[in-house]
Every structure is written in C-alpha cells, then in structure tokens.
Amino acid sequence: MEETTAADTPQDDPKPDIDKKPQVYILRDWKEYAGESFLIIFSVLLALVLTEFINNLHDKNETKDLLNNIRNELKANKQAETEQYAYQQKVLKTIDSALVNPDFQRKIVSDDEFHVKYIAPKGVLYRYLGDVAWEVARAHNISSKVSFGTVSLLTHIYQEQARIMKVEDEIAKVILSRESRKPEEAHLTLTLIRDNYLGWAVDRAPGLLKQYDEAIKVLGDDE
C-alpha cells in the first residue's frame, strides 16, 4: 500500500476575490462645481428668455390680427353707414312732405294701422353696423395692448353705432303705440318719428363717418 504524503496531496490554489471591484474616487475642485452650476443656471435663464420671446411674439401677432379684424369691420360699417345715411335723409324728406299733406297722412294711417312702408320702404333701419370684431378684441383685453387714444376713439365709435342702431327700437315704440293708429294723431306721430331719426341717427352720421376714417388710418399705422 502506497502512502500519500502531504506533498502529494493537491492543495487548493488561492482564488482571487472576484466579487470585490476596485473603487475609483474622482476628486473635483470648486471650479468644476461652479462650472456645472453656471451651466444649469444658464440653461434655465435661456429657457425663460425663449419662453418670454415666444409669448411676446404670439401676443404681438394676436394683437395685429385683432386690430386688423376691427379695421376691416370699420371699413364695412363705414360703407353701410354711408348708404344708411343717404337712405334716412330720403326718409326725412318723405316725412316732411307728409307733414304738409293731409291726404298723404290719411294714406299712411288707415284701417287702424300705421303703414310705415310709405315713409321708409326699406325699413326703419336700412343697414346693420357690426361690432363682433370689437367685442372679440375687448374679450382679449385689447385696451392693454394699444394706446389710450386708440381705445378711446374705438369706444366712442362703437357707442355711436349702438345709438344709431337704437333708432329702430325708439321709432318702433312710436309706431306701436295706440295713438299712432289714430288718423287725427298722424301729424304728431310723423313728427315724433322724424325727431327720433334726427336725434338717434341722422345727426350723428356725419361725425361717425369722419371717425371711421380716423380710426381706419390709425389702425393701419398700428399694423
């Protein structure tokens, strides 16, 4: 029987500890930290500047569109009011003729009805003056985006338009009253209609037409 000695016994070779990895520590000085902080701050500031620039550009384009819409609306209203002013002047001439003609008065007021078609064949209000663009602009706070003078001018124009448009309601009150159906009250009824035309519409028209021209020019310069 052979004897084994310690020298013959295979020894386990020491294995390296593969689970332990070397750790590397990077030492940075204050300049590197300062550089990174600067880049972060710069990136934030740049984002804020770009956002503000984009918002301002959007706001500027929106304001331009709003003013352009108002300008186009005023152009259309000027044309409408020019036609309406000419029409209402003819209506006044017809009323003046009726006031000195009893036979014409009896024709206008007959069968318990006031026949408005004889004095205003195309209706009391001949044209409509729009305000949609102005109302949209007001909803977008247009007063903070244009000069005080421009806002004042536009406000006055649209207020005058509203007064001119009100002539229809005021004359309707006269025509729909019981007195307007009485032949003996025809002269008074026609006088009241004439006064309403003058007070609410005709006397305001020349000034409004001049203001249209002024506003259209101002808005054209602002574009």
The string of pLDDT tens digits covering residues 119-177 is 999 999 999 999 999 999 999 999 999 999 999 999 999 999 999 999 999 999 999 99
* pLDDT at residue 1 is higher than 50: no
Confidence at 222, pLDDT banded by 50, 70, 90: low
Q: How many Cα atoms occupy the beta-carbon half-sphere of 10 within 13 Å?
A: 2
Quote the pLDDT of residue 178: 94
- Give the pLDDT mean for 75-93: 98
Q: How far is Cα 120 from Cα 122, in angstroms, rounded to an integer?
A: 6
Closest CA to 167 of 92, 96, 72, 78: 92
Quote the pLDDT of residue 37: 79
3-state helix, strand and coil shares in percent for the chain, rounded to the nearest 5: 70, 0, 25
* pLDDT at residue 75 is higher than 60: yes
* pLDDT at residue 58 is higher than 70: no
* pLDDT at residue 24 is higher than 70: no
- Give the pLDDT mean for 35-50: 77
**pTM to 2 decimal places:** 0.76
Pick 27 or 119 by higher pLDDT: 119
Place of tokens 């002539």: 167
